Amino acid sequence: MEERGCSREEVISFLSGVRAEDVHHDHILSSMCTIPHPIAIAVQEMFCATNLGDPGLFPGTMKIEDLLIKSLGDLMHLGSAGGYATSGGTESNLQAIRIAKKQRPDAKHPNIVVPASAHFSFDKTCDMLGLEMRVAPYGKDYMVDTEKMAELVDANTIAVAAVAGTTEYGMVDDVQTIAKIAKEHDCFCHVDAAFGGLVIPFLERPIPFDFAVAGVDSISLDPHKMGLSTIPCGCLLLREQEMLGCLNVDTPYLTVKKQCTLAGTRPGADVAGAYAVIRYLGREGFSSMVAGCMENTRRLVAGMEACGFSRVVDPVMNVAAFSGGGCVPEGWKVSHTRDGHLRFVLMPHVTRDVVERFLADVARG
Amino acid sequence: MEERGCSREEVISFLSGVRAEDVHHDHILSSMCTIPHPIAIAVQEMFCATNLGDPGLFPGTMKIEDLLIKSLGDLMHLGSAGGYATSGGTESNLQAIRIAKKQRPDAKHPNIVVPASAHFSFDKTCDMLGLEMRVAPYGKDYMVDTEKMAELVDANTIAVAAVAGTTEYGMVDDVQTIAKIAKEHDCFCHVDAAFGGLVIPFLERPIPFDFAVAGVDSISLDPHKMGLSTIPCGCLLLREQEMLGCLNVDTPYLTVKKQCTLAGTRPGADVAGAYAVIRYLGREGFSSMVAGCMENTRRLVAGMEACGFSRVVDPVMNVAAFSGGGCVPEGWKVSHTRDGHLRFVLMPHVTRDVVERFLADVARG
């Protein structure tokens, strides 16, 4: 750290220069995050000094967190759902599995059964909680094979997870069957809808994945992905608010006496931003945004196939994966799945113009 | 979630109204967070779309994270220190103890030894990692009794923690002795300086607590407390960057192949803001800010004692605790320690004016 400070102009100019080294969003075709909605950005300053970790000081901001959970619970077909705003999908998945573990103190060598598509946050979770992670293989179309999943469940299984909107292929597992398997074995059922939670409800033909499915205990759903909020804002949703009680620790010297969240200090600004977007767009706004992303996804698929690539699955969401074909033109950020397929995420910043420019580059070879 | 969205004006007006229900910072005397520095707020928009969880997309923002770690390592007397920006002290403490645990796969029933002052994030950590938490009692002046601490260490102890700037009394443990105990037992030494890390170096008589003390392996230090950044921005600092390697999980489909952080998606904006404050203030700016906080702390102590309260300890930092005396006047947010003492944190937003207004209220009874 330097002895002397710099002027405001020097600091801003330095940071602008470094920021310019980042890849421009016009070339990012691989991310599940996007440019936040202007209304999420507009409320940052108003809430920048708020800390949801000490709710007695910020009862107004806490009310907004409650409204955010209520709106999302409602979207997940359970207006009475509990939960809280997390730092993202990893914390949501971790906390859900912690709850599952607390409910099963009898399990001597606890394990969880997850789909092959499960996000790496489950690796972190199992590492921290000392759980065995049993991975059920893919069946048709990169959805988990539920029969093989059922075979992996045993008396030590504390939770079964499904993914609604897989990171690699954007597929939605058969949540109804998975929840039934969990129920039959009396274990917890968590749905990782970090990405899909704000896409699937707005598709022309929604797929069952949420609390409307009997047996689903918890859902992770990230506003900082398709909810256009600033980072960090994830949400853990629970069928019953009381399920959080088992995570409580005593919090002397705060305005509340118990805390169930992973973090202590928690940002109000990102939560307010997430709620602002939901309130501003409403279901209609989300539907129209998702429709646009899906149209661009279809256009990308058609364009790529015209250039000799083959779709790996029919996109269910705004994620597309391809095999074969040639190389990806320089300057574009795409990614690859573990199976070596080219992978694209058609976030709102990937506009029709961007898709056309990319396809033109691909066509030029 | 409503079918129809609202206008921008409706959303902003609703949120402003709710925000007004929060306690005004002029009355918050109990928080270790404060109003962010204007320069931290000024850079939010520039970085609002950046995600440090996918650093290949944001090499510029990643450079800022590296600069932040480098500046803080330098402040902690080890320019070569490794680390990364966390969501706050809880994640930093958790990750440090995870590293400690990985280093000791031999420990069959692992425990950690922490001071009585340890923040409740250690409870969460032990719960998640399946560790026994052994709590060493206070000795003189609410600092840990290091002799009793040493007695708690055994062959299953994987880490010993010290607190530099305790949450309740702002005290600094005898880190030199604690690090020696850790060394003698060949176990990890973590210093929780989430609050004190940006106060102690700027005191008139700094107290040894950082990497200058032989044996200190890791430090947690939160810019979102006395670093005046926006929330969330904590830092985990490590004597060697390589220590993070044991936390890596594979991250297919990202621009990097491994990830050691707890969260996947991570905000660049708060990190850029934290670095902006450090660059803008420099050591001189922090020294003058801390000097102001200490002056206000002394003024509060003198004023409270004039009203019949007694200081519990001589404040080492900008935290003060009192016993005896009367009630606290309505409208002010103070807190209580576990021992029932009145507790104040003299953050930068608690200006001399605020202190005088509070004392006048106390005097009026």
ipTM of predicted complex: 0.96
Residue B90: its chain A contacts at CB < 8 A?
262-264
Measured distance CA(B321)–CA(A252) in Å, rounded: 14
Measured distance CA(B132)–CA(B187) in Å, rounded: 15
Q: How far is B13 from chain A (nearest CA, A)?
A: 11
Closest CA to A234 of A191, A193, A290: A193
Contacts of residue B11, Cβ cutoff 8 Å, sequence gap at least 6 = A39, A276, A279, A280
Q: How far is A241 from chain B (nearest CA, A)?
A: 19
In eight-state DSSP terms, residue A190 is E
| Closest chain A residue to the Cα of B341, Cα to Cα | A253
Task: Check whether A208 has a pLDDT greater than 90.
Answer: yes
Q: How many CB atoms lie within 10 A of CB A6?
A: 19
Q: Are A256 and A248 in contact (CB under 8 A)?
A: no
CB contact under 8 A, B60 and A259: no
Task: Check whether B327 has a pLDDT greater than 90.
Answer: no
Give the number of C-alpha atoms closer than 13 A to the C-alpha of residue A359, restricted to the C-beta side: 21
pLDDT computed for residue B256 by the predictor: 84
Give the number of C-alpha atoms closer than 13 A to the C-alpha of residue A195, restricted to the C-beta side: 27
CB contact under 8 A, B285 and A72: no
Helical axes A121-129 vs B121-129, angle rounded to 10°: 90
Measured distance CA(B344)–CA(B170) in Å, rounded: 10
CB contact under 8 A, A283 and B3: yes
Question: Facing residues of A138 across strands?
Answer: A144
Same CATH topology for B8-37+282-364 and B40-279?
no
- Within 139-168 of B, beta carbons closer than 8 Å to A belong to 167-168
pLDDT tens-digit map of A8-38: 999 999 999 999 999 999 999 999 999 999 9
Contacts of residue A151, Cβ cutoff 8 Å, sequence gap at least 6 = none
Q: How far is B50 from chain A (nearest CA, A)?
A: 8
Residue B333: its chain A contacts at CB < 8 A?
56-57, 255
- Out of A48, A90, A282, closest to residue B36 by CB: A48
Band of pLDDT at residue A327, cut at 50, 70 and 90 = confident
- Out of B39, B264, B283, closest to residue A3 by CB: B283
Instruction: Using CB atoms within 10 Å of the CB of residue A246, give its burial: 0 to 12 exposed, 13 to 18 middle, 19+ buried.
Output: middle
Q: How far is B365 from chain A (nearest CA, A)?
A: 23
Task: Check whether B326 has a pLDDT greater than 90.
Answer: no
Q: Measured at the alpha carbon of residue A243, what is the angle toward residues A69 and A112, in degrees to the nearest 5?
A: 105
Residue B88: its chain A contacts at CB < 8 A?
263-265
CB contact under 8 A, A333 and B56: yes
Q: Are B84 and B260 in contact (CB under 8 A)?
A: yes
Band of pLDDT at residue A256, cut at 50, 70 and 90 = confident
Measured distance CA(A71)–CA(A160) in Å, rounded: 26
- Out of A35, A36, A280, closest to residue B8 by CB: A280
- Out of B32, B34, B49, closest to residue A36 by CB: B49
Q: CB of B107 within 8 Å of any CB in chain A?
A: no
pLDDT, averaged across chain A: 97
Residue B75: its chain A contacts at CB < 8 A?
1
Band of pLDDT at residue A253, cut at 50, 70 and 90 = confident
Q: CB of B119 within 8 Å of any CB in chain A?
A: yes
pLDDT computed for residue B206 by the predictor: 87
Residue B39: its chain A contacts at CB < 8 A?
8, 11-12
| Closest chain B residue to the Cα of A62, Cα to Cα | B22
Question: Facing residues of A237 across strands?
Answer: A83, A219
Q: CB of B124 within 8 Å of any CB in chain A?
A: yes
Measured distance CA(B43)–CA(A16) in Å, rounded: 9
| Closest chain A residue to the Cα of B76, Cα to Cα | A1
Q: CB of B170 within 8 Å of any CB in chain A?
A: no
Task: Check whether A263 has a pLDDT greater than 90.
Answer: yes
- Within 212-241 of A, beta carbons closer than 8 Å to B belong to 222, 224-225, 230-232
Q: Give the DSSP letter string of A288-350.
A: HHHHHHHHHHHHHHHHHHHTTEEESS--SSSEEEEEES-PPPTT-B-EE-TTS-EEEE--TTS
The residue type at A76: M
Q: Are A310 and A323 in contact (CB under 8 A)?
A: yes
Q: How far is A62 from chain B (nearest CA, A)?
A: 9
Task: Indicate the CATH number for domain A40-279.
Answer: 3.40.640.10
| Closest chain B residue to the Cα of A32, Cα to Cα | B265
Measured distance CA(B9)–CA(B348) in Å, rounded: 33
Q: CB of B340 within 8 Å of any CB in chain A?
A: no
Tokens of B92: 């930093």
- Out of B11, B47, B270, closest to residue A39 by CB: B11
Residue A22: its chain B contacts at CB < 8 A?
50, 57-61
Could you give the percent of chain A with pLDDT greater than 70? 100
Task: Check whether B329 has a pLDDT greater than 90.
Answer: yes
CB contact under 8 A, B30 and A230: no
- Out of B5, B121, B254, closest to residue A284 by CB: B5
Q: CB of B28 within 8 Å of any CB in chain A?
A: yes
Band of pLDDT at residue A252, cut at 50, 70 and 90 = confident
Q: CB of A331 within 8 Å of any CB in chain B?
A: no
pLDDT tens-digit map of B13-58: 999 999 999 999 999 999 999 999 999 999 999 999 999 999 999 9
Tokens of A261: 């969240």
Domains of chain B by residue range: 8-37+282-364, 40-279
CB contact under 8 A, A127 and B75: no
Q: CB of A171 within 8 Å of any CB in chain B?
A: no
Tokens of A191: 């749905």
pLDDT, averaged across chain B: 97
Question: Facing residues of A114 across strands?
Answer: A135
3-state helix, strand, coil in chain A (%, to 5): 40, 15, 40
3-state secondary structure string across chain B: CCCCCCCHHHHHHHHHHHHCCCCCHHHECCCCCCCCCHHHHHCHHHHCCCECCCCCCCHHHHHHHHHHHHHHHHHCCCCCCEEEEECCHHHHHHHHHHHHHHCCCCCCCCEEEEECCCCCHHHHHHHHHCCEEEEECECHHHCECHHHHHHHCCCCEEEEEEEECCCCCCCECCHHHHHHHHHHCCCEEEEECCCHHHCHHHCCCCCCCCCCCCCCCEEEECCCCCCCCCCCCEEEEECCHHHHHHHCEECCCCCCCEECCCCCCCECHHHHHHHHHHHHHHHHHHHHHHHHHHHHHHHHHHHHHHCCEEECCCCCCCEEEEEECCCCCCCCECEECCCCCEEEECCCCCCHHHHHHHHHHHHHC
Q: Are A255 and A270 in contact (CB under 8 A)?
A: no
Task: Indicate the CATH number for domain B8-37+282-364.
Answer: 3.90.1150.10
Q: Which one of B33, B34, B63, B87 makes the best mutation probe of the A interface by having the most chain A beta carbons within 10 Å?
A: B87
Q: Residue A158, SS3?
A: strand
Could you give the percent of chain B with pLDDT greater than 90? 96
- The DSSP H or E segment spanning A219 is strand A218-221
Measured distance CA(B225)–CA(B233) in Å, rounded: 9
Q: CB of B15 within 8 Å of any CB in chain A?
A: yes
pLDDT tens-digit map of A148-182: 999 999 999 999 999 999 999 999 999 999 999 99
In eight-state DSSP terms, residue A213 is S
Tell me how long chain A is.
365
- Out of A1, A282, A343, closest to residue B75 by CB: A1
Residue B34: its chain A contacts at CB < 8 A?
49
Could you give the percent of chain B with pLDDT greater than 70? 100
Strands A218-221 and A157-163, by their bridges, are unpaired
Measured distance CA(A205)–CA(A340) in Å, rounded: 29
Measured distance CA(A115)–CA(A137) in Å, rounded: 6
